[in-house]
Structure 1
């Protein structure tokens, strides 16, 4: 099975697609205090859970969602239709780094997708070209809760400098020309909900679809669960930063 389809299935019961609860997602979007008629851009939008909630919270806003997963974009369109938001959301099947847009935007989101740009600093540099002066970025990024063990690094196929600790991550964002105006550090319960949902939803689907695809999905669920339980659990954190462009 293609990786994008596995990810789409695994996130069906948790379309936020990050270790963030509905309540904290809404709190982050509310703290953005967007102006009337705001323009929103979501780079790596997935099923557009963040964008759709932003549109509901800001009735005059419009948004662009960008992703390379046709499965996720189809789900986003279906959900936008269901919520009556289709006329305010444009979806683009294109790599996030290649999107040019029609900016400037009041808010640019990139939650859990900084890998599409090569890391946090590169992501914020790209976001800056889309933002209006003084505009906001909402960026979700991993960080080391504690120094990773050699076992954790091996499981993640990662290096110690792939992430910093939380202070270093905030400093990295601010050194890219932003000020931190709010943030949410994901709680253990949010991580557990996300991981058990990811692996459990994919496992259920695999059991309902016996055969090669089901076998591949079940193997992916077991691999992911093992990587979490025996690898990055309590070591990898996640912070969602609300940043204001200063330069």
Structure 2
């Protein structure tokens, strides 16, 4: 079972695919105040949950969603069709780093997908290329709630510099040519809801599908749960910023 399939199963009960509740997702999108004719780009869109909701909130807008997962994009296409949005979103199966810049966008999203560009700083450079002057970005990124121990960093396969603390994350965003106009720091309850959904969806699927694939899914769920409960819970935070390009 490949990582894309594991991810698709893990997010069945939490399609937001980030530790952000639906009310906070809607608040972040609403504050973008997009006008009729605005263009939206979602880099690492997954099932396009954020973008489809933006299209509903702002009826005169259109969007492009980019992801490498064919399974997630298939789900996004079905959801767009069922919600009457298929004619307003174009889905592209390719790495975000290979998506060409054509016309500029009014809002660029990259929530929980900065790894696609090699980290936050590189992501901000790429996002800026896609935005019109004065355009908006919605970026979701991890940060250190408390300093991680060396053993935890080793378990995560991370370094201390992979994330900053919350003030340092704001600085990284604004040093890249943006100003924060709103932010949402995910609450512990949002993290817990996300993680219990992630591990629970995989566990349920594994129990319903005994055999090698089920064993793989269960092992992934248990490994993830162990890493979360006895590792990064309360250490790794998540923040989503609405930013305005100052260039």
Query: 2: distance between equivalents of 1:24 and 1:151?
Result: 33
- Residue segments in structure 1 that go unaligned for 5+ positions in a row: none
Query: 1: distance between equivalents of 2:172 and 2:139?
Result: 12
Per-residue CA deviations over 1:88-145 (Å, capped at 9, x if unaligned) read: 0100000001101432100000000000001111101001111011000000000000
Query: 2: distance between equivalents of 1:134 and 1:59?
Result: 21
What does residue 42 of structure 1 align with? 42
Query: Is 1:32 aligned to 2:32, yes or no?
Result: yes
Local SS of the residue matching 2:100 = coil
What does residue 223 of structure 1 align with? 223
What does residue 187 of structure 2 align with? 187
- Is 2:101–2:129's contact at 8 Å kept on the other side of the alignment? no
TM-score by length of 2: 0.99
Query: 2: distance between equivalents of 1:222 and 1:26?
Result: 31
What does residue 208 of structure 2 align with? 208
**Count of aligned pairs between the two proteins:** 247
What does residue 151 of structure 1 align with? 151
What does residue 107 of structure 1 align with? 107
Query: 2: distance between equivalents of 1:206 and 1:101?
Result: 41
* Shift, 1:37, TM fit: 1.3
- Is 2:66–2:96's contact at 8 Å kept on the other side of the alignment? yes
Query: 1: distance between equivalents of 2:160 and 2:59?
Result: 43
Query: 1: distance between equivalents of 2:5 and 2:113?
Result: 17
TM-score by length of 1: 0.99
Alignment of 1:37-186 (within 5 A): 37-186=37-186
Taking a change above 3 Å as real, the CA distance of residues 101 and 83 of structure 1, as seen in their structure-2 partners, is farther
Per-residue CA deviations over 1:45-77 (Å, capped at 9, x if unaligned) read: 000000000000000100000000001000101
- Is 1:104–1:131's contact at 8 Å kept on the other side of the alignment? yes
Query: 2: distance between equivalents of 1:92 and 1:77?
Result: 11
Query: 2: distance between equivalents of 1:242 and 1:121?
Result: 16
CA RMSD of aligned residues (A): 0.7
What does residue 234 of structure 1 align with? 234
* Shift, 1:36, TM fit: 1.1
Where does structure 1 differ by over 3 angstroms across 4 or more consecutive aligned residues? none
Query: 2: distance between equivalents of 1:13 and 1:61?
Result: 28
* Shift, 1:149, TM fit: 1.3
- Residue segments in structure 2 that go unaligned for 5+ positions in a row: none
